[in-house]
Each structure stands twice: as structure tokens, then as C-alpha cells.
Amino acid sequence: MTKRSTPLLLIGETSNIRDHVAKKLLEEKFETTEIEQMEQGPVSIILFLFDRQSAKLSIYLLQQVHLEKYEMDQLFIFDDKKTNSLADNESFVQSLIKASTNAVELFFSDVHVDSERVGDVVAKHLLHDLIHPSSHQMVKREISLKEKEIVGVVGLGYVGLPVAVGFSEHYPVIGFDVDDGKIAKLKKGEDPSEQFTQESLVATKIDFTTNAKKLRRCAYIIVAVPTPISASKEPDLSYLEAASQLIGENLTPDTIVVYESTVYPGATEEVCSPILEKASNLKVGKDFFIGYSPERINPGDHEHTFRTIPKIVAGQSAFVAETLYQLYQNVIKAPVYKASSIKVAETAKVVENTQRDINIAFMNELAQIFYHLDIPTEDVLAAAGTKWNFLPFSPGLVGGHCIGVDPYYLIHKARLAGYEPSFLTAAREVNESMVDHVTNLVMQQIVHHQTPWDNLKITVLGGTFKENIGDIRNSKALEILKNLLNLGLSVQLCDPHITEGSVQDIYGISNKSFDELEKADIVIAAVPHDVFNWERLKTILKETSTVIDIKSSIPLHYIPKEVTLLRL
């Protein structure tokens, strides 16, 4: 909540604009007052002098207030260059300026037709000056409605690229990345993350670059660099620190830097902001500003996209939050939500993913219990799911760089604060144990069928960390594959989404097409991409095969009767 004691008196006959501004100020908890309700004490005045006729009336109304009785705090004059209404009332306005502690004159340099748009711009400038008052007695600024501010996006991966593309529909965008191979591809319209077609990427007109100096032209810089964990499962903020250093070296006054990378509560203000200040020699909250907007993009999901997912924004002050709210509202179809602080927005993001981690961990624990009790998990969940408040989660592998990583950020911060989050760590352990559980299922099948080790063939279908994308970072399917290879088993992988070479480089095996697969004794349907045609499953099975369907995604009628089917 913004704390402010001086009431604001809004005077202006351009009622639509005035009403819109009054609404915005009230939303930000600023106290407004009417002439008739004014009490003794300090007051700030917001004077609208938009067209000649209504300007005359505004001045007349103000002249009715015996201002000598009040202590004049800030004075804001919104003026229109075209009608030059201020000149008609020069001496009266000059006396007002003299009586105020600080006056700001903002004049529009272009014609304004849409009062809501003008109101938004006026409110934005007002909030800026109310929250960050100038030390000068009089400030004069020209504002243009036509002005298109440049948006810079730093880090063009699974998150940064859709953000850059989304903004490019309404703003000029500079897309910066340190990976020159990636930038060369993007310039040609090739998207390494398989999210955009060549045609659509070329049409965006984004200025893809590795030249950080171009960021100096940006009014907003959005940061979407990786925030992984170290080998000891501690937050690794090295990318974020390097990006902040680079941005700081190219930071110009009045820029708002918005972090979208997932972090632990406090990281933006405690880690990133000091780096920006030091590298830029500018003061945060005075010369430049910071905000946070957690990203919920779900790569491979065409329904929940940058434009359709509700967006949280937060700023270091009400002005920054409001500015970001308007910025994101221009490009996002879904609602934009203003969080009460940067820390709250950072926490909300890690909590969203931690909640999923915990719920899936519960399912995975049940799956392991039911395996020992010989009860089909799927049937239990179907039965329990008939209750109105039973949550529809299912067991599975939790890999990637969000659900399997973000809880460690919260765990880290909780421990620093002296609290051991045993529930969160237990959930992580259960989900991590699923790789061994599936490996054990494979071993038991081998023992059960007494298949000679040397003749045994195992197929893994899908090696990415989740369906329909090519991302193999922290893939649990590949961890299972690695376990089996380490046991000396003959394993073949088929994943149409994984780019050539990457699996060969890491595991020394080739990534086969479905047609190249040899019939296998055990087929693990690890990641059920949409491109898999389950009708053809029987062509890669032997009569005595076992199918381990990790996500219970293969329709039962595609599994031949003689084949053993295991599900989690």
C-alpha cells in the first residue's frame, strides 16, 4: 500500500480523462479530494488544461479555492501544446508554481483522441512523479502518445523467445543472447526451440543481436536467462548475475529492468539489483527501476501460451508496478495481476511449481506402495476421482528445469532463514526415486522372464523431459536409459523430437527412427509424444515382450494380449 498523507485535488473539465486518472490513483491507494471537501492542511493539485474552453473553466474553478489557506505540496499541470491554454493564464499559474514545493508541467505534443489512452499515460507520469518527486522546483516534460518504447529481451530460450515474439506485435523489440550460433539461426528465422515457424519468426522484425550495446536504446529490458541448480542442488544464479552485469554496463536512465527468470524470494532485489547499480553507476529507484514478472510458459503446449496465460507483474514501487501492468496488458490477452511486491511475485512462482511437485510426489509414493501391494494405481485413482474434491494428479517422471528445480530454490531460502522444509525435501526425494523404481521394474521383468542378458533388447520411447518438445535437460527418461546402459544392457532410443547428435554425444547411442527399431523384450514408453503412432506399437514388440507405460498413455487395445503391461 502506498503511504501518502497529502490529498490530491484533481481539477479539470475534461471529465473522461480526469475520471480515468482519478480511478487509477484510487487503485494505487492515493487519497483524492474535491474542492467542497477540502480541509485545512497540505494539498497537491493536479490541473488539467487540455483544450482552451475547458482550461478556462479549470482555472476558474481553481481560483475559487482560497489557496493561501492551504500548504501547497506538489503541483501537476497537464497541458496541450496545440491549444497552448497555459499561456492564457500565465501569471496565475506562475503564482501557483511559486507556492508549490515542486511543480511538474507535462505537455502533450500530439493530438489525443482516445481519452482512456491519454488517461493511462497521464496516470503513468503522475505516479512516477508522486512516488519519485524531483528535487527541482519546476520540471517541464514533453510526452508523446505516438512514442513507441523499445523492449529488450535478454536470453532467447524457451521463455525469452515467445516473450520477444509476443512483444513484437506491439513494440519494437531487440532480442539479445550471448549464444551467437542461436542468434545466427534466429536471424534466418530458424527456432532451435521448435516453437515458431520460419515464416512467423521472420515476420516479427525482431532485431536479434549479440551486441549488448543495443540494449541502451530500450525503455524496458526483460531478462529470461536460465536459473538451474548446481550438482549439490543449490540455486545457480551465475547466468542471472552475468546477465545483470551485462545489462548494468549498458543501462541508461529511466529504464525498467524486469526479471522473468525463476528465482528464490528476494533474489531480484538482493542479488540482481546491486549488480545493476554497480555496473551502471546508477541508483535503483531513482535513475532506473526494477520489476519482476514470473513466467508460466509451457513449451509444447499450444493452448497455454505467452498471450493466453494470466501474468503476474510486480514493481519496486506502485509506479513501476502500474507501468508494467500497462505494458503487459498491451500484449497479453489474459488478465494481468499486480502482486503486492517483487518478493511476493517471486515466491508465487516457486510455490506454483512446488505445489505440483508435492502433488505428483504423493502420486508417485502411492504408485510405489501399490506396486508392493499389487493394486493398480490407475484404477484406484479413477475410483477416488469420483469424489468432488479429489485432485486429478497422476504418477510420473518429474524432470526438466521447472518443477524438478524450483522447489530447491524455496528449500534453499527456507534453510537460510533457519527453517528445515522437511515436507518439500521429502517430495523431491520421492520424485527423484522414480528413476530407480522404473529401473527396478525393468530388472524384475528380466529376472521374471529369465531372458538371457546378452540377447536382451530394451527400447526407450521418448527421451526428452516431457512430451512434444526437444528439451533433454534433466530428463528422467534419459537417466533411466543411462542406468540401463550402465548395467551393460542393449538399449535403443527413439525420440523424433531430439535433435541429431545430442544423445550420441552424451550416451554414445544413436537416436533411431521408429522404423529402424529392432523388436525389443522390454519397451519403456517413457515420454508419450503425440507423434508416436500407438497403432504401430505391435511392430516393435515380441510375443513375450513387456511394455512399461509410465504415463498410462497407450490405449489398451493397442497392447497385444500376450504382452505384459506394467503401469505406474
Ligand X SMILES: NC(=O)c1ccc[n+]([C@@H]2O[C@H](COP(=O)([O-])OP(=O)(O)OC[C@H]3O[C@@H](n4cnc5c(N)ncnc54)[C@H](O)[C@@H]3O)[C@@H](O)[C@H]2O)c1
Residue 294 is which amino acid? P
Distance CA 431, CA 429 (A): 5
Asked if 140 and 41 touch (Cβ cutoff 8 Å), the reply is: no
Q: Does 225 bind ligand X (CB under 6 A)?
A: yes
Among 84-92, 218-226, 359-367, 382-390, the segment contacting ligand X (CB under 6 A):
218-226
Q: Is 357 in the site for ligand X (CB under 6 A)?
A: no
Return the amino acid letter for 105.
E
* Residue closer to ligand X (CB basis): 204 or 227: 227
Least CB distance to ligand X at residue 498 (A): 15
Select the span of 56-64, 95-103, 219-227, 553-561 touching ligand X (CB under 6 A).
Answer: 219-227
Stretch that binds ligand X, among 34-42, 224-232, 513-521, 539-547 (CB under 6 A): 224-232
Instruction: Using CB under 6 A, pick the residue from 93, 106, 243, 460 that binds ligand X.
Output: 243
Q: Which is nearer to ligand X, 191 or 295 (CB)?
A: 295
Handedness of CA 360, 362, 368, 370 (dihedral sign): negative
Q: How far is CA 203 from CA 153, 164, 187, 206, 308, in A?
A: 17, 13, 11, 8, 21
Q: DSSP for 113-175?
A: --HHHHHHHHHHHHHHHHHS--SSSEEEEEE-SS----EEEE--STTHHHHHHHHHTTS-EEE
Among the residue ranges 241-249, 280-288, 323-331, 549-557, the one whose residues contact ligand X (CB under 6 A): 241-249
Task: Tell which residue, 9, 27, 258, has the closest CA to residue 124.
Answer: 27
CB-based contact 442:484 (threshold 8 Å):
yes
Regarding 537 and contact with ligand X (CB under 6 A), the answer is no
Q: Is 40 strand, coil or helix? A: coil
Reported as half-sphere exposure (CB side, CA atoms, 13 A), residue 62 has a value of: 26
Q: What number of H helices and E strands is found in the chain?
A: 18, 19
Q: Please, are residues 144 and 109 in contact by the beta-carbon 8 Å criterion?
A: yes
Report the half-sphere exposure of 436 (CA within 13 A, side-chain side).
7
Round to the nearest angstrom and report the end-to-end CA distance of the chain. Answer: 49
CB of 78 to ligand X, least distance (A): 39
CB of 269 to ligand X, least distance (A): 17
Amino acid at 126: L
Identified binder of ligand X from the candidate list 178, 219, 309, 414, rule CB under 6 A: 178
Interface segment toward ligand X; rule CB under 6 A; list 56-64, 99-107, 236-244, 438-446: 236-244
**Residue in 218, 272, 402, 494 annotated catalytic:** 402
Among 12, 119, 166, 226, binds ligand X (CB under 6 A): 226
Active site residue 494: no
Cβ-based nearer residue to ligand X, 154 or 218:
154
Considering only residues 244 to 283 of the shown chain, the ones binding ligand X according to CB under 6 A are: 246, 261-262
Tell me the residue ranges of DSSP E strands in 436-539: 457-461, 490-494, 520-525
Least distance to ligand X from the beta carbon of 180, Å? 10
CB of 356 to ligand X, least distance (A): 12
Residue list 288-317, contact with ligand X (CB under 6 A): 295-297, 299
x/- site string to ligand X, residues 142 to 161, per CB under 6 A? ------------xxxxxxx-
One character per residue 395-434, x = contact with ligand X (rule: CB under 6 A) = ------xx--------------------------------
166 in contact with ligand X (CB under 6 A): no
Crossing angle of the two packed helices 342-373 and 434-449, in degrees rounded to 10: 20
The nearest distance, CB 397 to ligand X, in angstroms, is 16
Task: Give CA–CA dist 489/476, Å, rounded.
Answer: 18
Residues contributing to the site for ligand X (CB under 6 A): 154-160, 176-179, 182, 224-227, 239, 242-243, 246, 261-262, 295-297, 299, 401-402
Q: Which residue numbers are catalytic? A: 402
